[in-house]
Chains A and B, each alone.
Chain A
Amino acid sequence: MRRLRPVAITGMGCLCAAGLDLPACTDFLFQGKRNPAPPSRLAIAASPPYPVFEVPDPFFDPTLLMRDCRLRNSQLALMAVTEAIIDAGLDRRMLGAERVGVCIGSSVDESIGNRALRKSVSQAESPIITPDHRFLLSNPAVHIAREFELSGPRQTVVNACAASADAIGLAAAWIRQGICDAVIAGGVDELYQVTYNGFISLMNFDRTPCKPFDVDRGGLNLGEGAAVMILEAEESVRRRRKSPRAYVLGYGAASDAYHFTTPHPEGKGLRLAIKEALRAGGLQPEDMAFVNAHGTGTLDNDRIEAHVFHQMFPQAPFFSTKGYIGHTLGAAGAIDAVLTIACLEQGKIPPSAGFSTPDPELPVSPVPETTAITGSIAISDTLAFGGNNSVLALGLEGN
């Protein structure tokens, strides 16, 4: 892996249980509150229901869009994109005139299409529309490209919980290799009955609000949301005289090659991904102001991360956002990436909601309170089903 050019981030957007735009989400993290509740939109059998973190309604403003959109997943994505485009100082005319691509990570988008199709198949009815159309109707990358009449590539990454971190890393390569002038990159996932029941079947869903890195942690809570970044080529940034808000400095990805639902016991894939992200950015571990952990609250995930952080970033404070917003699966990497940049801009990181008692088996613990940070570079990591590990190194300076 050689050192790669940083890629400018000129706009960001985010919505999740913590708020309907990025400033609201960031403020929420520092208010010490959280609002998990039983799912309001899912037909569920589990009793009592497991708590989730839903995006508060109404979040969708159709007056901001030119085209109709009825699917919640795509609505979430389009609201995040709209915020990011405004933040970047772009408009529809500029987007349509440039080579702008879309790279979105998601874990449920195709499955959403399957849900309606399955009903037709099981009831032996001819579906109103065919599976290919269902796929496209439920594909947020296609929705985004159509809404803003984009001419670049559109790609959906389905690397489970690492999907949107991978989407951002891949989109940065599109910029560096001249495939696009700009890329709308990020992730989205809505709460979905299949994943809700799936995580219950895996027995790693906490019946109480999740407690990442705490000695009494009992699993994750699911969340939903979307976050995107506008990645922009140097020439485009220069021409627009736009000051980048931050930079993608490095991206690394590696596989555990171990087990489908359990991380490698020594965090082999995570270590490799971190090393690759650092090498790509020409960075050293001591450059990191903090680490935004994946921190789902499951026993294995938190144990692996704590040991890896202790060995690779002994000086860096860390925290997890999952206690505030739940695990947003395919959107998690992107939401954590934009919140990482927001924390760098504010010069502080929040406490990890739900953490109160250190686990004696973990060599390090997250910060217990709002903590000032020094430095302008941070790491955000994600661990996924199938042993995918993806790491983004993000910074406020491009040099």
Chain B
Amino acid sequence: MKATITGIGVVGGFGCGVSALEKAAAESTGIPAKTFKIRTTDVQADVSCFLADTTSLAAFVPRKALRRIDHFARLALLGSYLALADAGLDENRRGRMGIVVATGYGSTCDTFDFLNTTLDEDDPCSSPIRFANSVHSAAAAHIAAFLGEHGPTLTINQYDMSVPLAFQTACQWLEEDRVDSVLVGGADEFSRAMGFYTQHLQPGRKSGPPPDDAITQSPVGEGSAFFVLEKDSEEPSSYAHVSSAGVTAMNGSPDAAPPGTKMIVNPDSRRTAPQRGNTECASFAHLYGSLPVGMAFDIAMAAIMLKTGKRYPAGTAIAGDRRQKVTPLRAAQVRDHQHIGCLKFGLAGDVGLVVLSTK
């Protein structure tokens, strides 16, 4: 059984929808980054970030219904609706649908707000809505409720490995006939926490770990990328098959990629890629920034390229262990697409790989 990507919904600093991502990829540059000022006791820094606008969610959901939905869940909701619309999958055709949401940080803004009231003010009567939205499964639950879907709903939180694990689960559900389709994707929002993360990498800071050259190259990103996966679809409108998806430890054997597979590497991991022979690598993080679920956007780029046959100029990818000299591969292009692997080397020593193939 092959899982087929039949719809994609993306939201990020580049805009929303597949066409916005394609346009940004074709132009390669020109996405305006916003500036977030970090002021700490030892550093003043301006952090560049790509912020996502969710106002177009109103096209799918009455604004009144969104009153209690926070920004993180709105990102996930908008990505979901866009993916379903792209797949042309209305509720009559999608059968039993599962939902898998991957996130690196979860709803950090709500979590921090709730922590502020419970820890600083020690308030036992703090907002129940804020508490509910701080629960990591909130976005998936809101998606299920808005869509009226009764299939299994899952949230995976394994930092930078959340996306390949989510794809692995989605494929398992289809394989076991647990569902007819899966809405799977990743979401993360910008917050002060993510700003601090980047600030830590700036030179001139007095304390903390050493700056990491590999991570300072993209603005901080936020957004969501969702996919509709269906079984064995050969619909002309579908994008690509998911040949394999999974995670293994660095000392395991991750290579499920067929020979000649081109790789899109997501470079915002602190542990960067060990040399992989002559494997050609590309990166598109300059389009959506650095975020734990960035690999979901890589998968979107891979699927678009496999469907359209178009080639987009790639940004900087990193090969080489950070203990060695970091070697950027600039302006690599993904060619001869039959298989494109999306590769992520995780902070904890994991390797995540999702391989897409032409239909």
Contact = CB atoms under 8 A, between A and B. Distances in A.
A286 B119 CA distance: 49
A201 B248 CA distance: 40
A198 B114 contact: yes
A399 interface: no
Interface string A99-115: 10000000101110011
Contacts of A115: 115, 119
A152 B125 contact: no
B200 A130 contact: yes
A126 interface: yes
B259 interface: no
A128 B115 CA distance: 19
A132 B292 CA distance: 9
A41 interface: no
Interface stretch (B26-34, B35-43, B280-288, B306-314): B35-43
A129 B248 contact: no
B150 A177 contact: no
B132 A261 contact: yes
A29 B168 CA distance: 38
Interface stretch (B7-15, B54-62, B78-86, B173-181): B173-181
Interface in A76-129: 99, 107, 109-111, 114-115, 117-129
Contacts of A198: 114, 118, 126, 128, 131, 134
A154 interface: yes
B145 A387 contact: yes
B141 A386 contact: yes
B43 A193 contact: no
Given A153-B246, A198-B131, A386 B197 contact: no
A158 B123 contact: no
A179 B178 contact: no
Nearest to B179: A1
A132 B197 contact: yes
Given A110-B106, A254-B151, A127 B200 contact: yes
Interface string A36-65: 000000011110000000000000000000
B249 A150 contact: yes
A157 B196 contact: no
Interface string A185-217: 000000001100110111100000000000000
B132 A257 contact: no
Contact of B115 (A118, A136, A160, A170): A118
Contacts of A45: 122-124
A160 B135 contact: yes
A193 B252 contact: no
A170 B172 contact: yes
A141 interface: yes
A139 B159 CA distance: 9
A200 B122 CA distance: 12
B147 A179 contact: no
Contacts of B322: none
A276 interface: yes
Contact of A156 (B147, B158, B177, B192): B158
A159 B153 CA distance: 8
Interface residues of B, number: 83
A158 B107 CA distance: 12
Contacts of B132: 202, 260-261, 385
A127 B196 CA distance: 8
Interface string B155-188: 1111111000100110010011110000000000
Interface in B258-302: 270, 292
A156 B122 CA distance: 29
Contact of B252 (A151, A158, A177, A258): A151
A197 B126 contact: yes
A132 B159 contact: yes
A146 to B, nearest CB: 8
A202 B141 CA distance: 18
Nearest to B173: A173
Contacts of B124: 44-46, 197, 200-201
A190 B209 CA distance: 29
A237 interface: no
Nearest to B139: A386
A219 B162 CA distance: 34
Contact of A154 (B99, B176, B208, B247): B247
A132 to B, nearest CB: 5
Contacts of B158: 139, 141, 154-156
Given A110-B106, A111-B134, A159-B137, A257 B247 contact: no
A176 to B, nearest CB: 8
Contacts of A307: none
Interface in A223-267: 253-261
Contacts of B112: 114, 118, 121
Interface in A140-154: 141-142, 145-146, 149-154
Contacts of A110: 105-106, 136, 157
The residue in B42, B104, B158, B176 that gathers the most chain A C-beta atoms within 10 A of its C-beta is B158
B347 interface: yes
A135 interface: yes
A389 to B, nearest CB: 9
A152 B104 CA distance: 20
A268 B151 CA distance: 11
Contact of B176 (A1, A107, A386): A1
A21 interface: no
Nearest to B270: A132
Contacts of B176: 1-2, 4, 173, 176, 280
B175 A177 contact: yes
Contacts of B40: 124-126
25 contacts: A43-B122, A110-B105, A114-B115, A119-B119, A126-B208, A127-B200, A132-B347, A145-B249, A151-B248, A153-B246, A153-B247, A155-B247, A157-B156, A159-B153, A194-B134, A198-B114, A200-B125, A202-B128, A202-B132, A254-B151, A254-B152, A255-B151, A256-B145, A258-B145, A260-B142
Interface of A: 1-2, 4, 43-46, 99, 107, 109-111, 114-115, 117-133, 135-136, 139, 141-142, 145-146, 149-160, 166, 170, 173-174, 176-177, 179, 193-194, 197-198, 200-203, 253-261, 268-269, 272, 276, 280, 384-388
Given A194-B118, A256-B150, 15 more contacts: A2-B177, A125-B41, A126-B43, A126-B205, A130-B208, A131-B194, A132-B159, A139-B348, A157-B157, A159-B137, A160-B135, A197-B131, A198-B118, A261-B132, A386-B153
